[in-house]
Structures are given as C-alpha cells and as structure tokens.
Structure 1
C-alpha cells in the first residue's frame, strides 16, 4: 500500500513503529466494558437518545434518588433513558446521598437509614436487577483512611471499615435479597487492603459481586496491568472464583475527549475484559466529555462509536511498548460472520505499521480491502464531523498470511481505525483527502499574550491542549496572535479555531488576512478558559503564504490551534452499510470492491441497518441510498420509501441522527449524505410572534436573533408562550427550539461544575404535552438548539411552551421543518 496518511510536520523516524495483530489469537467476545462514565447522564435527554444509543454503554455510575452531592444524575431517573437506549447496568454511588465532598462523616448510625431508603427504592424499581449498589466510595481516603502507612493505625481503621461493610452489606441484602453489591471501591489500587478484604469478606459471607477500584493517575496506563494481575492472584490465593471487575473511575482531564489518549485506556481494559467508567471531572451529562451540548459528537464520541461497532472476538495486539504511558496502543477484533477485522489504535505521533498476521483465507480470500479513517481531537466542546476516510486500498495477503497497513504522519491526539474486509473483484475508488494543515497558537507570533502548558504527564489532571500548550491572557487592547500559513491554491478554506471563552457570554475576536479589513469572529461560551471548543469559519486565500491574525475583540478568548482545510464543494459523507449497526440476519456481500465502500449489506424482511449520520447544523440535507432495490428509511419517527440512487431531501438535527434502513430484499452499499443544512422551506417564528401569558415576557437582548427573547417563562401553570404555526401540509415535522439558560448550583465542590437543566412542556394542538429537557448553555446569552419531532396538520397549529412547577428556558425563536420534504 502507498502511504495512507498525508505528511504532517517534520519527517518521522526512519523506522516506523509496529503494532502487531494476531487474528488467530482470540481473547474472547468483544465486551465493550470500557465505555462507561461516572455521571455520564444528568437528565432524560442529556445526553440525547441519538448520542447515547450508538455507544452501547455497558455501565454508568450515578447517585441515588434525591442524593445531595449533585443537582442531577439520580440513578432511577436517568435509568429510563439509559435502558431505553440499550444501556447495561447502573452503579448506585450510595454515599452521594451526602451533600459535602469529601462526604461528611456523621457515623454509621446516620448512614444506615439512608441505606435503607436507597435499597427500598432500588428494589422497587421494575429494572432492579440492572442496578449495582456501591456502599462506600474511596474508603481508603474518606471516613476510614485505609491508605495510612502506619500498620497499627491501618489495622484499626481497617477493622472499623470491615465492621461497617458487613453491617451495610447485610442491611442491603435484608431489603433486597438479590442485590448485587460492589466494593471496596478504593481511590487507588491497594494490594494490602484487598488481600485483607477478600479474606474477611469470604469468611463473613459478605463478598461483593463486583470488585471495584479507581485508576485515576497517568501512571495507570503503565501500572494497571500489574494491578489486575496482582488482584487475580489474590483471588486465587484466597480460593475465590474470579469476580467481575469494574474500574468505576478512570482517566484524567487530559485524557477525556482525546481519542489518542482514550484508546490507550480502552485497549488495556478490553484486553483484560473488565468494565470501566470514565471519571467525572467537570460537567455531568456529556458522557465524561464525549458529547458536545446534548447531541453533537466530538472526536472522543467517534472513538467510542467505533469501539461500539466492534463485533466478534477481540484478538491479541502487541504494541511496540506495552504498558507504557503515552505510546502507540491498540485493540482489534475479528468477526468471521461479518468477515471483518477491525483495529483501533493511537497515542503516538509519527509513522507506524499495522501488521495483521494469520489472516484466514477461508474468511477473507487472497485479497483484502483495507480502509483507514481518523478521529481527531476536536476539544471537549468541539464538534467533529464524520471521521475522514484516509485510504481504501486493495491488498494481496502475503504468503505467510499477513497484511501490513502503513500509517504515516499520525497525530498524537488522534485515534485511527483500520478495517479489513474481503477484496472481491475490481478496485475501490481512490479516496480524495482534502489538503489540510494545523498551526499551533504557541508557535505563532504572540503580542500581549502568554503561553501556558497544559495536560502533561506531570500535570495529568490539567485540561488537554494540542501540543500541551495554548495561548491565554489575550486581554489587552493590543493582544493578538499572528499565524503564518501557506496554502497550495486559490480558493475557499475552512478555518477551525480551537478556543476557550470563560467571559460569561459570547466573546469576539477580529480576524484579518495579511492586515486587510478585519471580520468579527464570535465565540460561544465554554465552561472555562481551557475547556476547549471549536469555531468554524470560512476564509478565501490565494495560493502562497499569508498571515492570519486573531486579535482581541470585546472580551478575552484563549487560543490553542487553528486548522486550515481546502474546501471541495458541499460537505459530504458516505456511511458504509457493512459497518452499520444491524439487527435480524442480514448477509454481507464483498464480491465487488468497485466504487466507494467495503461491500454490500443484504437486507431482507425483518432485517434492519442503523446509520449514524452527522449534520453540522439543523436543516435539510440530501440523502441518497446506494442500493440494488427499494429501501425504506426511518428518521425522527417518519418513514419514506427510497428508490436506489434517488436523492431525498431530509431534515436532520445538529449532531447525530439515527437513520434506519429496511427492505424486502436489497443489497445496500451505503447511505450518502451531502449539504450544509439548508433552511429553505422551513418555518421560522421569532419569540415576539408568541402570545405570552402569566408573567412570561419579551426581554430585549443584543444576542437574540431579533433583539429579544421570551423570558420568565414557566414556574406557574399560567405562564405560557403560544406560537401559531402554519403548516403547508400535514405530517411529521422537527420543531427546533433556540434557547438559553445558565442554571447551576454552587455547592463549593472542588472540581465538578454543577450545571442544571431546565425543562419545558410542549403541547401541539390538542395532543398530550411532551416534557423536553434543555441543557445549560454556559451563558444566558448563548443560544443552542434542541430538536423535537411533532405532528402538524395542514394550516394553523398552536404550539405552546410552559412549565407549571419550575422555570422553562429562555426562548429566542423556533423553526419547523418537514422531516421528509415531499414535492
């Protein structure tokens, strides 16, 4: 194969790193254990169903109902959306019933009535068998101080903990006899404690059903394997059968949202077949930093989407440097039924060779198609489009049964996926990768700003930054950053700016090219200066070298990196059917490699294929099924019959959209989606068009689209906003609400930002009201969108917003688009 990645930056070392995959060495079925999150869900709808379902999350950790530790994330409440979207089990962090951190130590007699209440509520839930009780959280540090060095003090503390463990364990079981209980749940791995704990728990018949501890240091990437091996040895020594393990907090801030970091963690957990939940360092409800707003993927989300797409068995992967921090690591799977091998890798810059050994000829034949794609880092709050396919090449399997896939110019913060499928006849179409280049802010010419170091191994709980540095303190009138860039040809370029904005509202900078008249770039708010988001703008450049200047506007903005990408027409993506989620018993046809894609998915009656389709904004997009026969596509509760190759105009919401394909009999190669999100044909109503009652009022605002928004809505049954919308035809529409609010609870927590959601009851005509959740927008002046499917009749329809018991969000405007734009 030719080089699969474009060159980026200085030439890499002469000898590429090697990641070896042995398809003959099965490690057991793909478990997907490492995709969990602590407080990954905050409310029903945060994250959205379309963001949650594709990841097939196996476990999350949440607080008990009414727990005072955080304002949301109650286990029973979020269980509805979690289980609805295929979630596995929920760990109930029982001590999160307390308000303070660390938990106030009021004694076991204060705790036991709380334990009773939690156990009774969980036991009464219809899905009680899918909950796991975690009675104590980090007892090595909190309440019991089990990590002390002095042996006598340790033994005294240990014995008090063991006594309380037995008491609480038996209390839970008395209420819920079938309860599954997890522990001891230390903040770090302690061999001394676990040896004693296993002996005690076995002797007293209070052994947990799930073994838990935390891996929260950058050293865990080096040390976890030794911890795991030591623990399994302790079990054998104690005569205890292997317990299920859940590392129910893992990773640092610098890892979350970063595909190249996360793949290192995921690979070691999946290899050892343990479950694991990412830590909660910042805001709840975004799957530990993988979901932007409520429905938009970032680079980390795409890594976990790839992980969720692995099927069959995992197989042995040998990296060049096993158990070494920040090095090339990976995991791989083989599904002989689907005739697919997949490799996920990342964590290191430069060149590497993925060497796949023992490629079974009975499954793949004499040639394979190797498809390589990249999930890049886009920040914690930065949107990431469908991952770019970098190469798709037909390769002959060597006489020794191996295939080598070279990756060149890898980026350290990116993750990569290699998919091998049978080669078939013909050759796949060449992949067109647009020219792109990245420029670090710290390497640019800085005036009245300061370079900061972020997210290094030494400061693992610092926020991630590209190249471990960013530029801040751009707070002077003369502050600016001059980027010198060189582009290959005249034309339009997409400029992506990785930034932070903690100013409390929308902030601006002035963007100029070669000192020409400046344009204003507006940046939505972020959680803090280093919780990176991404702003996309367009610039026109002539071939050659230019200076792009970002200068201070009305407030301070921090800068991390800019990316320039040549624009090649309207955005488009091809979603391969052979890589879609499926149900039923479809077959896979790789007889031809001609064209785009890896083959065809043959759907028959009863089969389904679900595509995860990205949209950069709410609006209409062109969707074309490439199939041999008619297929039916379902989106937002509407179904349309689609002829092969015939374009459809469908309304997609910003972020992820789940499109389901069914057919009586059709071979589907892909679902092709293009466009930028047209508003043509949509209905739009500003807040001032609504009839306001019961205290709801129109509030002037320079940041609202028409200079005002609807405020003081709700908190009373009489406070409503009623829009009259006129539908040109009856059918299913997407109601897109442009809203803002910045509710949060300040409880003095050391690091969690306790943002809160608002809800609104939306009533269309005489239909029953639907409760919709609106996540905090980081500022009352930043407007986000939420899409709600509604049914309208032709002509006038009343759409009413309200909330009888709490404040609804502020509403700027609403839009409605027919899901299927029928001629």
Structure 2
C-alpha cells in the first residue's frame, strides 16, 4: 500500500509530465523514395526468440498476486473472474476500514481491531482453500492501524524503549489467528523506511526493537509461523544487507525475504541471493508484495513485468494498488469498478495459461517474451510485453519445433496471434491473425506489429494440419511466379530486401504509372497488405477482371504492413488479384510510390471477423478514414498514443467523422484530468455523451463502442459539447484511433 502523501505526490508529478496536449505542430520533412524503407520514428524493431527445445522449470505464476484485491469479506470478485487467473498470493490486513484498528481502540482489542482482523481472515479463508491454495500475507501493521491514516500523536511500537503494548498486540493477534484455523503468513510492517507507515527511521534501533519483539512473540506462540519482511518500499541493497546482518545476529531472520517495486525482478532477485550468501544465510523464498507504479499499470508493461517475474527467482508478487483502496474487490483496478475485465485482466489470464514447462527465450529493444510448452494441454503459449512504449514490429522466431513433433502436422503448426489492448473494460482480446504456418528447419517466424505502446500480445501454437484447403495462408510479396499463391510483376517494379518492418523483410515497389502486378490464389478471400506512408501514391485493385477500386496509400505516419484492401467473400476456387500504380497521389503525399508487402488468403468458407485498427490521423473521405472539420489540431510524437498522433480540439461544436465498412467500431480517445464531454452518434442516429475526464491518464483506451451493425458502410460522428465534468480542468478532446470489426 502507498501512503496518501506519496500517492498524491506521484499523481501530481505524472500529471505535470503528461501535459503534452498543447497545440504544437510538427513539420515532417518529405524525402523521396527512401522513407518507405525506414521504420516509423520512435519505433524499435527487433527479434525475440522462443526455443521450444530448451525446457526449464514449471511456471510458478509468480506475478499472479494482488494487494487488497478482494472486498471486505473476501467474497468478491466472483470465482468466474478470479479462478481463471490462478492467483498465488494475496496481501491484506483491513487497511482503511473505519475504526483505525488497535490504535483506534486506545491500543487495545476493541471493535476497530476486530473488524480489520475479521476482514483479513475472511479473505484468507477463501483464497488459501481449494481451488486456490494461495498464500495470504497478513499485514500486521494494518491491523495495528498504521495505514497512513493514524492520528497525530500516535505512539509507535517501542517508543521510548517501551515495547509492552506492542507485545500485547502481537500476542493477541497470533492467538486470534490460531483460533480461526486460517493459515496466514505474518508480514510485520509495511515500508518501514521513514514513510508515513513508520516515521521512526529505516533500520533504526527502534525499528529492530519492534521487529525483534514481534518475531520472538510470534514464534513463541506459533513455532511453525512464517514471517515475511522487511517489506521495504523498493529494492535497496544496503538496507537489505543491514537488515539481514542485524536480524541474523538477533536470531530474528524472516522466513521469507520481501521487498517492493523492483525495476527488474530478475536482476534484483539475483542480487538478493548474493546478499544472503555474503551474510552466510541459507537461501530463502523471495517475494515482492507490491509491483507496478500507477503509470506502469497498462497491458503492455504488465506483460513485460510478468515475463521478467516468470524468469526470476521471485516466488510470489502482488500487483500494487493506487486507487480504490482498500476493499473494492477489483483486484487493484484490474477489474473496473463494475467488476468487468480490463486489458490487464486478460494479460493475467494469458499468464495463467502458460503451463507445462518454461522454455528458453531472448528479448530485444525493450520487448520481453516468456513462453511455456505443455503437451498435455496441446499448446505452447508466448506472452509479449514491452517496457518502452514499443510501436515497431517484433519478429518472434520460434525454434526447436523438432523437439515438439506433436505440434507439427502435415508440415505446419497453427499460430494464433492476439492483441490485448490497454482497454477498460475489454470483453476479449482481439485476434490479429490465425492460421497454419509452414515449418522450415524446425522453426517459424511470427511478425507482431505493435498497434500501441501499451498493448500486450499472445502467440498460441497448437497442432497444425487440418482439412486441405482450410485456414489462412500468408504469402510474401516476393513469392513470384505464374502459379497458385504467387505474385507476378510486370515492367517497372523493383525489389528491396532487409526492410525490418515488412514481412520477410522484402518490399516490391514501383513509382511508375501503369506498372502492374498480379497475385493468383485459390481461396475465398484475400487481404492485400502494402506500405502506407508520407510518400505513397494511389493504386487500383480488382479481382477476376471486375471493377477496379482506388486505394490511397498515403498516411502521415508509416505502417509498413497495413491491410489496404480486402476482397469480398467469393466462391471457393482460383482467383486473380490485379494491382496497378495509377501514377496519382493524395495532395499531401510527397510521392507516387507503391510498395507491396504480402497477401493473406482465406481458404475457409466463412472467415471469422477480423479487427482493423485505424489511426486517428488517417484522413480523407473514404473508407477507414477520419475527416475533421474546422478547429482541429494535430500533435505528433505522443509516446502513449497509437502511431504517436493526437487529433485534438477544445472548441465547442467542433466535429469529426469516421467512415468505415464493417459491423462494429470502437473509438479510442484520451481520458485525462483536462478533457471535456463529447457526443458520439452512428449513421445520423441519437447522440451518446462520453465524459473524457479521468483522475489518471489513459491515452488510448476505448471510450465508446457501437452496437453490432449490419454489414456495410457506416459513419461515426464525434461532436464536442463544450461541457465538462466538474472535476475536469479543461475542455480538451483528443482522438486516438478506431478499431473496426469486419
């Protein structure tokens, strides 16, 4: 738990840092030809590896813990929201429950003490029993009353050398816990480094009097008790070393070494083991009862941290709480206030599905991956997260498939890539792609283009094969010839290789009017992927000699693998797609280049719905384009928004429209302390108001989702009402992107 003073200070600092939304315009230099081969500014492309042949430990689900995650009597959230996460640790002690604990009862056992202890025992009773079998860390200082709301003039344990009342409290607590029969671990004092919890100084003489008194009394009454500590508010090698040296000398070492908020749990756990060894102390379990600061609590960073925890020697860790403290039953805001799953909940669910054995992995450019292989479940699962707001393309190289021959059927493995956006609520992850992928040399490569720096991704491998002519086949643009699933290029086309953000690293391009390419395929539908960038022109596409449709490849920000056109569903059979460079361009474009990336061919009669994400700065009057009226501005280089762009206005009555073909749309926009109320309508229908105010910033969350619509063309309209929440400090509105379901 974080004290009010520290919490408010962090919130103030975060808000100052995030006051990016000023009307500042960035001017991009237009460079002919070569920009189409470069990654977007701020992107960090790279390759991470998963080696299924190198198997390690059974996953411990170390990160599946929650601080104050349950409601007061431990009954919420419901089992259907808790069991899928397979939690391993809970921590509590009745913090902030009215009565102020032992302190509020005049340093005696009265109703204030009893209500906090009852809450903790009710929670522990539920989660330590089947089917959970989790550990429960009982925060002794919470029951005593040190939850940052203790009154002025509080007498702390062992003030003036007098530990008698503290000893009485600990004795009563242990007796009551033992009488309940509920198994708990005693976490003696929260963050005792001179904070509002313990103002008597880190590792001070009084601190060790308090600690030794508690440990000796606990072990006198219950020799088998597990003691957790010191629970410092961060990993500090000097503090931990001094604590271990002193408690070893006093004979009061904890059974579990605990701290909070490691910057990297792998490195800190390794260091802590070295400190134990240097002090001649046998190895003991390492835990972290709080992790993730408020600004880190998004899908992408959580996945990165869980990946690091999976590979560390930390045995258990609990997600920190920064709001709705302390008995809201939302798993530390992993659920909404109405207890609906958020993006973070789905990340924890994916983490719980990493069963069997962990396998060897490597990371790159701030992207971490952890993976597990489980033949009993018939799958391998990899979880990707990022530490640095990654927006490039990460190639996941999966090796060692020869060591898992049950995954490879008819030379293929089935691959499903899912995106977990940082969205609240989120009904389910978004399927990016799914289909059989050919295995070559016991390996496959899976490109993952990060739609937003706060997204997480999962890759699930299951046995391939299936009936002939089913699934989705991806064909690189440089797979050439005159046969099935091959591209054929006429004159005036060139090839560039080694392009890091394109499939297989290849770009087939032309800047000549009339240059023609064809793609022959057998299937029911095709999606063409090509570069969208500042120097791209317009092309036409047609299938089987039908009417040509014009596709504008211009975009103010680069997407090297965008789906620029998708055919209708056709009868199963042989088809030919024709692409022609028109030699024309959007007035904003700096060139007439066309660069083809690949084609995705559906070979199933009824392909499942797919989701297309469109940046708010993809502008025009056509399909999958935003159009802004007067009084809108553009800010680029915004690290926590899709493609780094924010289209904004603070003028009442300003409108924006988004045209799309599909069955549903989800609008992403900024929620922050200075946002106003917008009105959203669909196809000229009734408006729905959306309040953009939030006490903490979420730059790319879903603020409104349409109902399911008839398949076809639709128009979403956004209007600034000029009204604001009474708590908001401004009238800004900033659009991020839209997710279209087709």
Q: TM-score range by the shorter chain?
A: 0.5 to 0.7
Structure 1 Cα separation of the partners of residues 638 and 247 of structure 2: 39
Aligned to 2:688: 521
Partner of residue 26, structure 1 = 55
Q: 1:425 to 1:549 in 2, by over 3 A?
A: closer
Matches within 5 A, 1:94-109: 94-97=140-143, 98=145, 101=148, 106-108=155-157, 109=163
User: What are the superposed Cα offsets for residues 762-815 of structure 1, whole Å, 9 maximum, x if unpaired?
Assistant: xxxxxxxxxxxxxxxxxxxxxxxxxxxxxxxxxxxxxxxxxxxxxxxxxxxxxx
SS in 2 for 1:344: strand
Query: Of residues 694, 702, 719 in structure 2, which corresponds to 1:550?
Result: 719
Three-state SS of the structure 2 residue aligned to 1:29 is coil
| 2:67 aligned to which of 7, 22, 38 | 38
Q: Which residue of 2 aligns with 1:392?
A: 434
Partner-residue secondary structure (3-state), 2:239? helix
Contact 2:632 2:647 in 1 (8 A): yes
Matched, 1:52 2:82: yes
CA contact (8 A) 2:190 2:197 kept: no
Counterpart in 1 of 2:239?
193
Check the 8 A contact 2:665/2:738 in 1, yes or no. yes
| Cα RMSD for the two superposed structures | 4.3
Question: Which residue number corresponds to residue 306 of structure 1?
Answer: 350
Q: 1:333 aligns with which of 346, 368, 372?
A: 372
Between the aligned partners of 1:455 and 1:68, the Cα distance in structure 2 is 45
Cα deviation for residue 362 of structure 1 reads 4.1
1:34 deviation in Å? 0.3
Q: Which residue of the partner structure matches residue 419 of structure 1?
A: 460
2:169 aligns with: 114
* Secondary structure of the structure 2 residue equivalent to 1:337: coil
Q: Determine whether 1:287 maps to 2:331.
A: yes
Task: Specify the SS of the correspondent of 1:297.
Answer: coil
Change (3 A) 1:137 1:451: farther
Q: Does 1:135 align with 2:177?
A: no
Q: Is contact 1:12-1:351 (8 Å) kept?
A: no
The 3-state SS of whatever aligns with 2:354 is coil
Cα distance change of structure 1 residues 396 and 440 upon mapping to structure 2, 3 Å threshold = closer
How far apart in 2 are the matches of 1:453 and 1:52?
40
The residue number in structure 1 matching 2:359 is: 315
Once residues 216 and 632 of structure 2 are traced to their aligned partners in structure 1, the CA distance between those partners, rounded to angstroms, is: 59
**C-alpha contact 1:56 1:308 (8 A) present in aligned 2:** yes
Kept in 2: contact 1:441–1:559 (CA 8 A): no
CA distance in 2: counterparts of 1:450 and 1:61, whole angstroms? 46
Shift of 1:233: 0.6
Q: Give the secondary structure class of the aligned counterpart of 1:28.
A: coil
Q: Does 1:407 align with 2:448?
A: yes
Q: In the superposition, relative to structure 1, how do residues 47 and 550 fare at CA in structure 2: closer, same or farther (>3 Å)?
A: farther
8 Å contact from structure 2 (residues 672, 694) kept in 1: yes
Q: CA deviation at 1:376?
A: 2.9
Deviation at 1:308, TM superposition (A): 0.8
Distance of aligned partners of 1:351 and 1:472 in 2 relative to their CA distance in 1, 3 Å threshold: closer
CA distance in 2, matches of 1:100, 1:337: 46
Q: Secondary structure at the match of 1:254?
A: helix
Q: Distance in 2 between matches of 1:62 and 1:455?
A: 38
- Say whether the 8 Å CA contact 1:20–1:356 is kept in structure 2: yes
Per the alignment, in what secondary structure is the counterpart of residue 124 of structure 1? Answer: helix
The alpha-carbon deviation at position 351 of structure 1 amounts to 1.2
CA displacement, residues 412-465 of structure 1 (integer Å, 9 cap, x when unaligned): 221111112232443553354535234459999698899999998xxxxxxx77
Q: Structure 1's 454 and 159: CA in aligned 2 closer, same or farther, altered over 3 A?
A: farther
Which is further off, 78-87 or 224-233?
78-87
> Aligned partners of 1:538 and 1:559: how far apart in 2?
23
Post-superposition Cα deviations, 1:338-360, rounded to whole Å, max 9, x if no partner, equal: 34221110322221211122221
State the Cα deviation string for residues 553-599 of structure 1 (Å, max 9, x = none): 6644875545534455xxxxxxxxxxxxxxxxxxxxxxxxxxxxxxx
Deviation at 1:467, TM superposition (A): 7.3
- Partner residue in 2 for 1:786: none
Look up the SS of the partner of 2:294 in the other structure: coil
Query: CA distance change for structure 1 residues 28 and 539 in 2, over 3 Å: closer, same or farther?
Result: closer
Cα distance 1:244–1:511, how it changes in 2: closer, same or farther (>3 A)?
Answer: same
Q: Are the counterparts in 2 of residues 123 and 175 from structure 1 also a CA contact under 8 Å?
A: no
Q: Is the 8 A contact 2:678 2:718 kept in 1?
A: no
**Do the aligned partners of residues 549 and 211 (structure 1) sit closer, same or farther apart at CA in structure 2, a change above 3 Å counting?**
same
- Quick one: which of 407, 417, 420 aligns to 1:364? 407
Which one is further off, 537-546 or 547-556? 537-546
Give how far 1:93 is off: 1.5
CA distance in 1, matches of 2:702, 2:739: 18
Is the Cα contact below 8 Å between 1:351 and 1:409 reproduced in 2?
yes
Higher strand share: 1
Unaligned runs of 5+ in 1: 1-9, 149-153, 322-326, 457-463, 569-823
TM-score, normalising length from structure 1? 0.56
**What is the aligned partner in structure 2 of residue 79 from structure 1?**
124
Q: In structure 2, how many angstroms separate the alpha carbons of the residues matched to 1:499 and 1:86?
A: 37
Q: Secondary structure at the match of 1:113?
A: helix
Shift in Å, 1:481: 5.4
Larger Rg: 2
- Find the counterpart in structure 1 of residue 28 from structure 2: none
Shift of 1:494: 2.2
* Distance in structure 2 (CA, Å) of the matches to 1:537 and 1:509: 15
TM-score (structure 2 length as normaliser):
0.61
Matches of 2:686 and 2:672, distance apart in 1: 18
Query: Aligned to 2:240, what secondary structure does the other structure show?
Result: helix
| 2:388 equivalent to 1:214 | no
Q: Deviations over 1:84-113 (max 9, x none)?
A: 651501111221231651756512145443
Inter-partner Cα distance in structure 2 for 1:436 and 1:69: 52
In structure 1, the partner of 2:283 is 242
Q: Deviations over 1:667-709 (max 9, x none)?
A: xxxxxxxxxxxxxxxxxxxxxxxxxxxxxxxxxxxxxxxxxxx
Distance 1:371 1:293 in 2: 35
Quote the Cα distance in structure 2 between the aligned partners of 1:483 and 1:233: 58
1:450 and 1:472 in contact (8 A); partners too: yes
CA distance in 1 between partners of 2:61 and 2:176 (Å): 29
Change over 3 Å in CA distance of 1:362–1:136 after alignment to 2: same
Question: Do the aligned partners of residues 144 and 425 (structure 1) sit closer, same or farther apart at CA in structure 2, a change above 3 Å counting?
Answer: closer
1:629 corresponds to: none
Q: Which residue of the other structure, out of 301, 311, 317, is the alignment partner of 1:261?
A: 301
Structure 2 unaligned regions, length at least 5: 1-37, 102-114, 158-162, 473-606, 620-625
Number of the residue aligned with 1:596: none
Contact 2:244–2:276 (CA<8 Å) still a contact in 1? yes
- Taking the aligned partners of 1:312 and 1:76, their CA distance within structure 2 comes to 33
Question: Mapping of 1:525-540 within 5 angstroms?
Answer: 528=695, 530=697, 534-538=703-707
Q: 1:259 to 1:393 in 2, by over 3 A?
A: same
Question: What does residue 224 of structure 2 align with?
Answer: 178
- Displacement of 1:374 in angstroms is 2.4
- Deviation for aligned residue 1:45: 3.9
Change (3 A) 1:449 1:410: closer
